[in-house]
Structure 1
């Protein structure tokens, strides 16, 4: 017997995540299920054990995602015999359940451009014989990002990504990355800063810079690609 269409859609959205960005992809899956109405307002989420098994993530990762969804106003907890985690009756106004037409296409265009430019920049930077000034700048930007407070994080993050482009020694590429980043930041400003994502990003930033400094173009490209996919997952979850 075939599954009802709602069950099939739920299975499609709450599918296993990949391992590179487990938290971010868990957020994407959960937000899609909520904002597309697969789990409607007031609806109860599956139990944690079932959700973690379906998504193939640890209970710790799932609980962190649920905590952020709770803080962002997407879900609420109820105690007692019939308690659990429920979708909020009213979704946050900043990210409506039915986004304006064209947002998804604009998002995918911006993400594709960013991926093409920044993975290429990381690869090119790692393939160069970097000067001492190049190396010091990359390390300084990495340290700045790692110690930034929430209020200045996106600015420091942007500067680190521009430093990678600058290390590729192509002014045209640096200019293109700057334009793409400006466009991306306009989208990022519509979603909340999430501490677990920032902590994960810092590990990925270090992997990117380490690969560039040791002259490993494939490694730098792969590390940058994984990092960008984490951001893409969050943006798709909140905005698509």
Structure 2
């Protein structure tokens, strides 16, 4: 009697594609490693097969595998029996940052991401719908240039400053404070995961798309650009931390 085919990746949740293929691939590979679908020391499926299972291009998969090797989750072996292997012991996540006297649990992470996903897209839409004086437009472009030119050592604070600049365009001090507080809490979490070059490149592109939508006054496009941008970061945080 034929046994039903078992696809191990089917055990990993398959969220709807949001445009962040690299970040989604990272999240799902990390889930597979943490759930033991790719067991410690085992060889991952061949690149073509794994790309098909995950529904991504081989180029996207290669980027994700390379980043996970750099982060210490995978190792590459050469030779006849070579390939990509799960490490025997997964890296430990750094100790939780202490914010307001408490560590960041999985619930804390989801709470921060949920609040951020409400506040920042709203700020982006309102910024695009505001009447922007030349100084305001120049301010946004200056913050965009700074984050665009940031290296890995300065990217995260410059990234936060750009997002706060978006909120500043709304003219609402309360909204600026909410975005600033949210960025501080997210930065606390981001300090616990690797800074991935591919995600950095995506962020630069998405920042420009967000700024462009705001400057041309397209509220819907600005909100949508913010949602896509935030979802990429959320996937990485969930993948590494939860």
Does 1:75 find its partner at 2:74?
Answer: yes
Cα 1:95–1:8 change in 2 (3 A) is farther
Q: Which residue of 2 aligns with 1:143?
A: 145
Unaligned runs of 5+ in 1: none
Does 1:213 find its partner at 2:212?
Answer: no
* Alpha-carbon separation, structure 2, partners of 1:42 and 1:14: 23
Q: CA deviation at 1:94?
A: 2.5
More helix by share: 1
Secondary structure, counterpart of 1:169 in structure 2? coil
Is contact 2:25–2:54 with CA below 8 Å preserved after alignment? yes
* Alpha-carbon separation, structure 1, partners of 2:14 and 2:43: 18
TM-superposition CA deviations, 1:97-121 (whole Å, max 9, x none): xxxx972111110000001000000
Q: CA deviation at 1:80?
A: 2.4
Q: Which residue of 2 aligns with 1:192?
A: 194
Q: Which residue of 2 aligns with 1:182?
A: 184
Q: CA deviation at 1:56?
A: 1.7
* Alpha-carbon separation, structure 2, partners of 1:3 and 1:185: 45
* Alpha-carbon separation, structure 2, partners of 1:47 and 1:220: 39
Q: CA deviation at 1:79?
A: 2.0
User: TM-score under structure 2 normalisation?
Assistant: 0.91
Q: Which residue of 2 aligns with 1:51?
A: 50
User: TM-score under structure 1 normalisation?
Assistant: 0.92
**Pairs aligned (count):** 234
Q: CA deviation at 1:57?
A: 1.3
* Alpha-carbon separation, structure 1, partners of 2:200 and 2:61: 17
Secondary structure, counterpart of 1:149 in structure 2? coil
Secondary structure, counterpart of 1:150 in structure 2? coil
* Alpha-carbon separation, structure 1, partners of 2:148 and 2:184: 21
Secondary structure, counterpart of 1:86 in structure 2? strand
* Alpha-carbon separation, structure 2, partners of 1:16 and 1:2: 28
Q: Which residue of 1 aligns with 2:117?
A: 115
Q: CA deviation at 1:42?
A: 0.5
TM-superposition CA deviations, 1:166-194 (whole Å, max 9, x none): 01110000001111111111000000111
Q: CA deviation at 1:137?
A: 0.6
Q: Which residue of 1 aligns with 2:168?
A: 166
Secondary structure, counterpart of 1:151 in structure 2? coil
* Alpha-carbon separation, structure 2, partners of 1:50 and 1:18: 19
Q: Which residue of 2 aligns with 1:92?
A: 91
Unaligned runs of 5+ in 2: 96-102
RMSD: 2.0
